[in-house]
Structure 1
Amino acid sequence: MYVVHFFENRIELLNQLLGNVPAVGDQLTIKGRKGKVTDVNHVDDTHVHVQITVEKAPVKNKNTAADLAKKKKR
């Protein structure tokens, strides 16, 4: 068993106790976000640091004029 630390830009996203270590290039889903493994560092026999890049979510713009038109006027 390995303690796997998942990092994105020096920010630790998740710690997990896993039976196998992800390889470079594997696709992962962490906290509902898709990501790809870029680097794997074995710290010691049981600890592994995994660097990932997370895909950016598209920004949804709300159209406030359309929302105001839908409201009931009194």
Structure 2
Amino acid sequence: MNVVYFFENKNLLLSQLLKHVPSVGEDLTIKGRKGKVSSVNSVDENSIHVQVILEKVNKSKLIVDNSKKKK
């Protein structure tokens, strides 16, 4: 069992106790966000740091058409 720390840049996203360590290029979902593993660093025999690149979240605003409202 390994303690796996998931980082985006220098921000800690998640730490988990895992049997299977993710490999470079593997697709992940962390906190509902999709991402890819960019690097895996072994700190000591039980600690592993995983760098993740998460996809950008598009926050699009809805366009309201006021011409169809009753006056």
Mapping 1:14-33, distance limit 5 Å: 14-33=14-33
Mapping 1:40-51, distance limit 5 Å: 40-51=40-51
Specify which structure has the higher proportion of helix: 1
The two structures, once aligned, show a CA RMSD in angstroms of: 1.6
Structure 1: 5+ residue stretches without partners: none
Deviation at 1:58, TM superposition (A): 2.0
Q: Deviation above 4 Å: which 4+ runs of structure 1?
A: 70-73
User: What residue identity is the alignment partner of 1:4?
Assistant: V
Q: What is the TM-score of this pair, normalised by structure 2? A: 0.88
Deviation at 1:59, TM superposition (A): 2.4
2: CA distance between counterparts of 1:28 and 1:2? 17
Q: What is the TM-score of this pair, normalised by structure 1? A: 0.84
Deviation at 1:39, TM superposition (A): 0.4
